[in-house]
A and B are shown apart, each in its own frame.
Chain A
Amino acid sequence: MNNLRGVYTIWYRDILRFWHDKMRMIGSLILPLLFLVVFGSGLSARMGFLAPGIDFTQFMFPGIIGMTVLMSSFMAGVSVVWDREFGFLKEVLVAPISRASVAAGKTLGAATVALLQGVIILLFAPLAGISLSAGTVLALLPLMFLLAASMGSLGVLLATRIRSMEAFQAVMQMLMFPVVFLSGVFFPLQGLPAWMNILVKINPATYGIAPIRQVVLGVLPDSPFSINLFGHNLSLWENVTVLAVFGAAMILLAMWSFSSQE
């Protein structure tokens, strides 16, 4: 009971802060929309159809949703480092709630904010020439949330060990772009050079982008957009399982790491 209250309170504060900071919300949408418009209109005509009836902008749109969610949630750790720097973390650490619930609350807060940003990107679907049914949107929400919670946990885990703002920013910069570029946001995952193929497949974000694409484009597992692992094209549920296992490991590690810090 105490722990649930802790998770809720920490989550609530993050939402409150996000609400106060509407510029951040707008700012975080600019990059994804820029990618969508510039890459989409710049490359679409040249590349034709990537699969029957799917042009490059349509292909990229689910990737952009995933990228928005991923970037926003991965940055969640910043707020932990920030709180430490500004002293507020102390108020949280001496409160009669468990540290593990603080880590969980932080992750949930970040995932919720990321989910909201992802939903806003969904509104731009017509821009990419995609029409979404209510059912599709409902199916997307849990997928987006799972991706957000997994990457958010990783962010919080890193933040428990990297104490200074500067170091954390540097690590984020170093990790963010490889994770985004090697996750299949911008290109289909089959027929890649061998080295890239390996990197793409050990990138957990890949397994979050792929199911979002499968749902948005309504493609079957044997399409060229699927992840081919050991000669087998992963289905939506298989992707979700890989991501969920990764996410569960990350959240447990984050909770443990948060509890064990002085």
Chain B
Amino acid sequence: MVNHIIKVENLVKRFGELVAVDDISFTVAPGEIFGFLGPNGAGKTTTINILCTLSKPTSGRAIIHGFDVVHQQSQVRQSIGLVFQDPSLDERLSGLQNLRFHALVYNVPAAVRGERIEQVLKMVELWDRRHNQVRYYSGGMKRRLEIARGLLHHPEVLFLDEPTLGLDPQTRSRIWEYILELRQREGTTVFLTTHYMDEAEEANRIAIIDHGRLVAVDTPERLKKIVGRDIVSVKTDDDDKAAEEIRLRYRTEVRRDSDSLTFEVASGEEFLPAFIREFGTRILSVGLRRPSLDDVFLKLTGREIRDEEVSDVFKATVRQHGRHTRR
């Protein structure tokens, strides 16, 4: 009896001088939703490429469903489903033909082929559009079709590399419904990379990767305890003066965003009334929130999980959470 479906041991991948994946080890339990979190260029996609046999590790090894990703490629490939960051559909074929192709290549038995194709297409609500060529699908439909395709051969592990990147919020939440439903029904293990923090919250466990190194692997709740304390954000007349005052009075570090100050306190509800009463600088607004995975990431890596490649949707999400670029 094995208690893990993915086992990664001391995995290293070098591209010349660059160490893209730097000695990472972790295991994933069957049925788990495992989030792989990090900014672009942190080594997420490189790791996935190794796990799905597209790329060979420089050293270390990875076992999926009992098969070695280097020496038992064919068995590994049969055990996994993949949804890539970039689309990988044949746009000139219909949705149905794309799935038929996949079923043939993955040797889905002819007797159940039609039934399975119907099942997954209905699940992602594309059954009515099955005869349309994929090039007439919207971005969200394409991604849904890819998810359906990834599930067609009943993989043990479904890899989702940024499955909702660039999709509108409505489609994103729909895709998440499918993923959760799937885990419920099939017990499929889901290995997912994302830099959407709110999506990572859905995972059972999260690995945070930065500069090719794993900095933490734990449940979202326990990771948030790393930050531990509540976060106060405040806008004032004079941020310089206020920052200085907070530092002196509460002996805590202050972070300056473009138009507000944030700092951590042990117990926010009790802190706020006293703070408002006694603070010397005029307060324009004040907010209190529990730590999010954003804060965890910031704490562990010293920077926010974002870069120039993030989509507009993500920026909107960030804004909604009230976070801004640090100076």
Residue numbers of A with Cβ under 8 A of B are 2, 5-6, 8-9, 12-13, 16-17, 20-21, 83, 86-98, 262
Contacts and interface: CB of A to CB of B under 8 A. Distances in A.
**Among A6, A12, A13, which residue has the most Cβ atoms of chain B within 10 A?**
A13
A9 to B, nearest CB: 4
Contacts of A12: 101, 104
A9 B90 contact: no
Chain A interface helix/strand/loop/mixed: helix
Interface of B: 52-56, 74-75, 77-78, 80, 82, 84, 86-93, 97, 101-102, 104-107, 133, 149
The 6 lowest CB-CB distance pairs between A and B, nearest first, are A87-B88, A96-B77, A95-B105, A96-B78, A91-B88, A9-B104
Contacts of A9: 101, 104-105
Contacts of A87: 84, 86-89
A97 B91 contact: no
A20 B52 CA distance: 32
**Among B77, B88, B93, B149, which residue has the most Cβ atoms of chain A within 10 A?**
B88
Contact of A88 (B52, B55, B88): B88
A262 B53 CA distance: 10
A17 B133 CA distance: 11
Contacts, number: 70
A94 B54 contact: yes
Given A87-B88, A90-B84, A262 B106 contact: no
B84 A20 contact: no
Nearest to B94: A20
A21 B56 CA distance: 37
Contact of B90 (A6, A17, A95, A98): A17
Given A94-B53, A95-B105, A21 B92 contact: yes
Contact of B82 (A89, A94, A98): A94
Contacts of A262: 54-56
A104 B84 CA distance: 25
Contacts of A88: 88-90
A123 to B, nearest CB: 27
B158 to A, nearest CB: 13
Contacts of B55: 262
A97 B133 CA distance: 25
Given A2-B74, A90-B84, A91-B102, A20 B89 contact: no
Contact of B93 (A2, A20, A92, A95): A20
22 contacts: A8-B104, A9-B101, A9-B104, A13-B93, A17-B90, A17-B92, A20-B93, A20-B133, A83-B90, A87-B89, A88-B88, A88-B89, A88-B90, A90-B54, A90-B88, A91-B88, A91-B89, A95-B77, A95-B105, A96-B78, A98-B74, A262-B55
A105 B198 CA distance: 44
A8 B104 CA distance: 9
B97 A16 contact: yes
Given A91-B88, A96-B74, A96-B78, A17 B93 contact: yes
A19 to B, nearest CB: 10
A13 B101 contact: yes
Contacts of B97: 16
B91 A95 contact: no
A92 B84 CA distance: 13
A94 B52 contact: yes
A96 B107 contact: yes
Given A95-B102, A95-B105, 19 more contacts: A5-B107, A9-B104, A12-B101, A12-B104, A13-B90, A13-B101, A17-B90, A20-B92, A83-B90, A87-B88, A88-B88, A93-B54, A94-B52, A94-B77, A95-B106, A96-B74, A96-B77, A96-B78, A97-B105
Contacts of B88: 87-91
A224 B111 CA distance: 59
B106 to A, nearest CB: 6
B105 A96 contact: yes
Nearest to A10: B105
Contacts of A93: 54
